[in-house]
Structure 1
Amino acid sequence: MKTTIFRMLLRTLAPVMACVPLVAASMPILQVKNDILIGAKNVVVNEQNYDVTFTGGSCTEAFGTCGLSSFYFRDFETAQAASQALVDQVFVNGSAGMFDKDSSLTNGCQTYASYCNVLTPVAMDGSVVIGATAMNYSGGARSEIVQKFYRYADDAWPNLSYARWMPALAEVPEPNSVALIGIAFATMSLFRRRR
């Protein structure tokens, strides 16, 4: 009787467990300090995970040294994809904050309530920083756009924040609890067959 119940349970759960992924999908983790969005971890750009921090002020203040060696992305297309990822994955309303509705909650843009430019720099032309910008407008509707952007390196603007990107640290994924139960049932069935 016990064997029959066990086999029925195993036959019922096996197809369900086969459909459950063994690892949790990576979602961006917003970094918030004193209600201000200071960055995010695990932002997906072109199928790669990155961490990003937002810093206001001039390029030199944001990077220490404002130059090509300070910028992680080197081409406009990747910077544009990174800016689009900010729009889609980071500037969102949720339990961590209303970052799409209120752009002044982004680090570097606290004193400017209308909109925030978050610049992902890729190049320098003399003293001009060139990159892609995620423009986050305040208000109820999602009105972000991504565009090519030029800014003097020494300028600090109240509505400008620099995005500092780096590859995300590889984390060991946690197995899904349903998958763990499935592994336990499979192990139990192997031990039963051996007896």
Structure 2
Amino acid sequence: MQIALALVAAYLLGSVPFAMISSKIFGLADPRSYGSGNPGATNVLRSGNKKAALVTLIGDALKGWVAVFAAEQMGFSSTVVGLVALAVFLGHLYPIFLKFKGGKGVATAAGVIIALDPLLGLAVAGTWLFMAFAFRYSSLAAVVAAGMAPVFSVLMHGGNGQALIVGILGMALIGKHWQNIQRLLAGQESKIGGKKKA
């Protein structure tokens, strides 16, 4: 019962839509009504309000971190902690509060990975930052970081359960960015801070 409650709590925490909350706080339009229509930090940034985007980014990352950290502090096994990590991540992707239409999960996955292994989190975040600054495409940075995350995990710890969880997160992130990948290949993807291309 305790495990079931932990999973439900993690899913509900993941479902909290910080893009909507920050948009309301800063008096912005619903992020689903402009840009990519995605309730996430990158799309909120398209509103031109960097503070709202930052609040969204921190909130989405923090809920992933809090869920995993709390599960670890409660003394759950690594398997249960891994399931909690997936539950909070899936809560963000398919939030009950937004009719199961959520964000792409980059910030939440980052929070989860940092909680699982801070060094791995730094390696993945560093990959995202390098790609983002070098090429100015948030989606490209996310896809490359997601693909490298399980590789880093295996290199650091071998093929353990953590690598499996990180691999699932990575595959899900790449899947959620499939349309972005197609736009990147077609040269139609918008850059960080820019408006969404037609």
TM-score, L = length of structure 1: 0.24
Higher strand share: 1
Higher helix share: 2
